[in-house]
Amino acid sequence: MRLTLADSRRRPAAAVAPPLAQEAWLVDVANAAARDAGGVPVRLLGDYLPLLADAAVTGRRPKRAELDAVGQLGRQAAEQGISAGRVVQLYLSAARRLWQDLPTVVRSRDREAVRAAAAAVLHVIDDAVATLAEGYAVARRDLVRREEVLRRELIDDLLRGDSDLGALVERAEPFGLDLARVHQVALASPSRRLPDTDAAISALEAVIFDRLGDRDVLVATKEGLLVVLAPATAANTGKTAPATGQDSDLGLLMYGELNRLRHGRPWRVAVGRAHPGLYGIARSYEEAREALTMAGRLHVDKTVVTAHDLLIYRVLLRDQPAIVDLVFAVLNPLVHARGGAEPLLETLDAYFATGGVATESAKSLHVSVRTVTYRLDRIKTMTGYDVANPEHRFTLQAAVLGAKLLNWPTEALPSTG
């Protein structure tokens, strides 16, 4: 004799086989619901259908342990990469089909009994789907956190450039990175504390993926900066893109999107040059980081700076003992001027920036032309260098640039001993 669902509830739990195995019609409902949801595995229903059937027959509400089991199924769905919409569709479709196919023991009841059965079923649906969604959300948050940790560790190792290549290639593959291609690194620095990290990363990922595709792009944070690793050429070309244009394009793309965020403005973006291979990534990162530092010390007013634009300053700093010696030998006498060296250095900087035009220099400094000429005379007297002399002018300009890069006289000159 075939055991009915109602009979099974009156027998001891140990003597009852799993409900889906007992009730063939529940198996049919589960399979049909899985098809409705696009082939979601039937096992993700767990004991959900017996809970619904039991509610319809007896009005019983699910126990906490039974709902916890549903929440665990939600976690499994997230871990398997099944969308939340599809797994919820599985549960709703299963409920709809179960109600249509309930045995006549429910259909033959009077109207009030059917209404009570329907209410009991809806309660189970509400509880189960809410618990399912909660379990799914918890698993997704855990997955995102784990991915963020893996992403941060990967980008740290990539930017350091001294990790095992074979291991990095294997770790980079899930993120869609082809380390044999030509890449460049861009850094975005907020004017204040880094705003909501998730929002900033999502904003950058959306616009960069749309422009470059979702392969070979990695967005993360490092030391309070947003880091973007992006391809510099089309796939498989193996050629480095021209430095002019492409670097600033990536920088402008990032700046435009980040500037939409409420916090963090104004941003400054620095883009390293494109280099091939794993070590090229670390090199591009160092260039971008140097560009950020130099732009700050040089008081560059551009919101997007590129390593290519600042190559001359990297040349100056490459031989630091020489530039320190130049600054000390040429400009150190200015520290004895009334008011210190800063006003005189600002005057020289403005004078060179305006092409050696005293009237324009005065405008940028908000002083009179007479003040500018007086200061230039004082510089000539104290240093022996005259801005009117081409050779002297070159030496003075190189020394002023070196002073700005070394943040002198605010900071003491580095020791070269």
pLDDT in tens, 13-56: 333 333 433 478 888 899 999 999 999 999 999 999 999 988 88
Cβ(117)–Cβ(104) under 8 Å? no
How many Å apart are CA 227 and CA 219, to the nearest integer? 6
At 242 the pLDDT is 42
SS3 of residue 94 by DSSP: helix
At 161 the pLDDT is 76
At 111 the pLDDT is 75
At 343 the pLDDT is 94
pLDDT in tens, 121-153: 899 999 999 999 999 999 888 887 787 788 888
The secondary element (H helix, E strand) that includes residue 183 is: strand 182-189
Question: Quick one: pLDDT band at residue 299, thresholds 50, 70, 90?
Answer: confident
At 215 the pLDDT is 66
At 213 the pLDDT is 65
At 195 the pLDDT is 61
Cβ(247)–Cβ(306) under 8 Å? yes
DSSP strands (E only) in 232-317: 268-271, 275-276, 304-306
pLDDT in tens, 262-282: 766 678 999 999 998 888 999
- What share of the chain has pLDDT > 70, as a percent? 86
For every residue of 355-411, DSSP letters joined together read TS-HHHHHHHHTS-HHHHHHHHHHHHHHHS--TTSHHHHHHHHHHHHHHHHTTTTTS
**374 pLDDT exceeds 90?**
yes
**284 pLDDT exceeds 90?**
yes
The secondary element (H helix, E strand) that includes residue 124 is: helix 111-160
The C-alpha angle with vertex 22 and arms to 19 and 23, in degrees rounded to 5, equals: 90
CATH topology of domain 182-314: Alpha-Beta Plaits (3.30.70)
- What share of the chain has pLDDT > 90, as a percent? 40
Question: Quick one: pLDDT band at residue 361, thresholds 50, 70, 90?
Answer: very high
The C-alpha angle with vertex 408 and arms to 404 and 413, in degrees rounded to 5, equals: 120
Domain spanning 319-405, CATH class: mainly alpha
User: Phi first, then psi: what are they for 220, rounded to 5°?
Assistant: -155, -175
pLDDT in tens, 71-123: 999 999 998 989 999 999 999 999 999 888 776 545 555 777 778 888 888 99
